[in-house]
A and B are shown apart, each in its own frame.
Chain A
Amino acid sequence: MQIALTIDMAQLVAESDSGIPAYEYQDINSTVFHVGTLAKLWKERLPADVYSFEEPAQDSSAQEDAVFGAEMALNSETVEEISTLCSLDTLKCYSEGESPDVETIPVDALDSLSSLRIRKTKQDVREQTISKDYLGRHENYVHELESHALGKKSTNPEDNIEEGELVLTVNILYPAIFQVRKRVKPHQTMMILGSQKLTQLRDAICCQSDYQISGEFSNTPDLAPEHISKDHFKSAFFYFDGVFYNDMRFPECRDLSKNIIDWTKSNERGYEKFQTARMENTTFCDLKIKVGYPYLYCHQGDCEHVVIFTDVRLAHRDDCRDKTMYPLLMRKHWILSRKCFVCKMYIARWVTNQDSFAPADPCFFCDTCFRMLHYDKQGNKLGEFLAFPYVDLGTFN
Chain B
Amino acid sequence: MDVNLEHALKNDCKTLLSRFQQTESVRYEEFSAIWRDMKFSTIFYGKMHPTEMRSFTKEVLSIGTYYFFPPYSFQIRVGGLYLLYGLYHSQLCDPKEKIRIALKDWEEVVKFQHDIVNAQHYDTAYILKKMFSAKAFYFTAMPRLLYYRTKQKVNKHAVCEDFRERTWKINSLVTEDSLEEILNVHEHYQKMKCAISRDKTQPDRILRLLTEDFPQELQNTVSSFNRWLDEQKKKSTEKRPRGKLEDDGECEDMSRETEASARARMLANIKSRSFSNVAEASKSRRHRQTELGSSESGSDHGVQRKSSTKRKSLAGRTKLAENKSGVKQEVGMETAGQRFSMPVISEESDEERVNRPTKKKRFS
Residues of A within 8 A of B (CB): 1-3, 5, 13, 17, 20-23, 26-30, 33, 38, 41-42, 45-46, 49-51, 56, 60, 64, 68, 72, 74-75, 77-78, 81-83, 85-86, 88, 90-94, 100, 102-106, 108-109, 112-120, 123, 135, 139, 142-143, 146-147, 150-151, 169, 171, 186, 291-294, 308, 310-314, 316-318
Q: Given the complex of chains A and B, what is the CA–CA distance between A292 and B148 in angstroms?
A: 5
Q: Is the CB of A21 within 8 A of B147?
A: no
- New A-B contacts (20) at CB < 8 Å, excluding given A119-B5, A119-B46: A1-B133, A28-B149, A38-B103, A45-B106, A82-B123, A85-B123, A86-B28, A91-B86, A91-B90, A93-B42, A104-B47, A105-B42, A113-B12, A113-B43, A115-B11, A116-B43, A143-B49, A171-B147, A292-B146, A317-B135
The 4 closest A-B pairs by CB, nearest first: A292-B146, A115-B8, A313-B140, A109-B39
Binds A, one of B124-132, B162-170, B269-277, B316-324: B124-132
Q: Is the CB of B142 within 8 A of A75?
A: no
Q: Given the complex of chains A and B, what is the CA–CA distance between A118 and B50 in angstroms?
A: 19
Is the CB of B185 closer than 8 A to any CB of chain A?
no
Most central of A56, A119, A317 by chain B CB within 10 Å:
A119
CB-defined contacts of A292 to chain B, threshold 8 Å = 142, 146-148
Q: With A30-B146, A68-B126, A85-B29 known to touch, is A20 a contact of B95 (CB < 8 Å)?
A: no
A-facing mask of B36-69, CB < 8 A → 1, else 0? 1111111111110111001000000000000000
Q: Is the CB of A20 within 8 A of B103?
A: yes
Closest to B135 in A: A317
Q: Is the CB of A2 within 8 A of B141?
A: no
How many chain B residues touch A (Cβ–Cβ < 8 Å)? Answer: 78
Q: Is the CB of A74 within 8 A of B122?
A: yes
A129 CB to nearest chain B CB (Å): 15
Q: Is the CB of B148 within 8 A of A28?
A: yes
Q: Is the CB of A3 within 8 A of B113?
A: yes
A14 CB to nearest chain B CB (Å): 10
CB-defined contacts of A88 to chain B, threshold 8 Å = 89
Q: With A2-B113, A113-B12, A119-B46 known to touch, is A28 a contact of B32 (CB < 8 Å)?
A: no
A330 CB to nearest chain B CB (Å): 11
Is the CB of B150 closer than 8 A to any CB of chain A?
yes
B251 CB to nearest chain A CB (Å): 7
A-facing mask of B5-47, CB < 8 A → 1, else 0? 1001101100100000000000011001001111111111111
Q: Is the CB of B145 within 8 A of A312?
A: no
CB-defined contacts of B9 to chain A, threshold 8 Å = 115
CB-defined contacts of B113 to chain A, threshold 8 Å = 2-3
Q: With A1-B129, A86-B126, A91-B86 known to touch, is A118 a contact of B147 (CB < 8 Å)?
A: no
Q: Is the CB of B138 within 8 A of A313?
A: yes
Q: Is the CB of A5 within 8 A of B42?
A: no
Q: Given the complex of chains A and B, what is the CA–CA distance between A90 and B90 in angstroms?
A: 11
Q: Given the complex of chains A and B, what is the CA–CA distance between A143 and B55 in angstroms?
A: 11
Main secondary structure of the interface of B (DSSP, over half): helix
Q: Is the CB of A68 within 8 A of B129?
A: yes
CB-defined contacts of B109 to chain A, threshold 8 Å = 3
- 8 Å CB contact of A112 from B15, B130, B150: B15
CB-defined contacts of A30 to chain B, threshold 8 Å = 141-142, 146
Is the CB of B193 closer than 8 A to any CB of chain A?
no
Q: Is the CB of B51 within 8 A of A310?
A: no
- 8 Å CB contact of A311 from B37, B142, B154: B142
Q: Given the complex of chains A and B, what is the CA–CA distance between A93 and B92 in angstroms?
A: 15
A sample of 25 cross-chain residue pairs with beta-carbon separation below 8 angstroms, ordered by A number, consists of: A3-B110, A5-B110, A13-B107, A17-B104, A22-B104, A30-B141, A50-B135, A78-B245, A81-B244, A85-B28, A91-B90, A94-B39, A102-B45, A104-B45, A112-B12, A112-B38, A115-B12, A115-B43, A117-B8, A150-B95, A186-B147, A310-B147, A311-B141, A318-B96, A318-B98
Q: Given the complex of chains A and B, what is the CA–CA distance between A33 and B104 in angstroms?
A: 12
A140 CB to nearest chain B CB (Å): 9
Most central of B32, B42, B43 by chain A CB within 10 Å:
B42
Is the CB of B144 closer than 8 A to any CB of chain A?
yes
Q: Is the CB of A85 within 8 A of B141?
A: no
Q: Given the complex of chains A and B, what is the CA–CA distance between A92 and B36 in angstroms?
A: 7
CB-defined contacts of A33 to chain B, threshold 8 Å = 141
Closest to A22 in B: B104
Is the CB of B235 closer than 8 A to any CB of chain A?
no
CB-defined contacts of B41 to chain A, threshold 8 Å = 91-93
Is the CB of B117 closer than 8 A to any CB of chain A?
yes
CB-defined contacts of A113 to chain B, threshold 8 Å = 12, 38-40, 42-43
Q: With A26-B156, A313-B138 known to touch, is A105 a contact of B86 (CB < 8 Å)?
A: no
Most central of A41, A115, A123, A313 by chain B CB within 10 Å:
A115
Q: Is the CB of A114 within 8 A of B47?
A: no
Is the CB of B4 closer than 8 A to any CB of chain A?
yes
CB-defined contacts of B127 to chain A, threshold 8 Å = 86
Q: Is the CB of A82 within 8 A of B126?
A: yes
Is the CB of B241 closer than 8 A to any CB of chain A?
yes
B348 CB to nearest chain A CB (Å): 35
CB-defined contacts of A17 to chain B, threshold 8 Å = 104
A150 CB to nearest chain B CB (Å): 6
- 8 Å CB contact of A310 from B92, B130, B146: B146
Closest to B42 in A: A109
- 8 Å CB contact of A169 from B4, B135, B145, B245: B145
- 8 Å CB contact of A291 from B40, B107, B126, B146: B146
Q: Given the complex of chains A and B, what is the CA–CA distance between A348 and B341 in angstroms?
A: 89
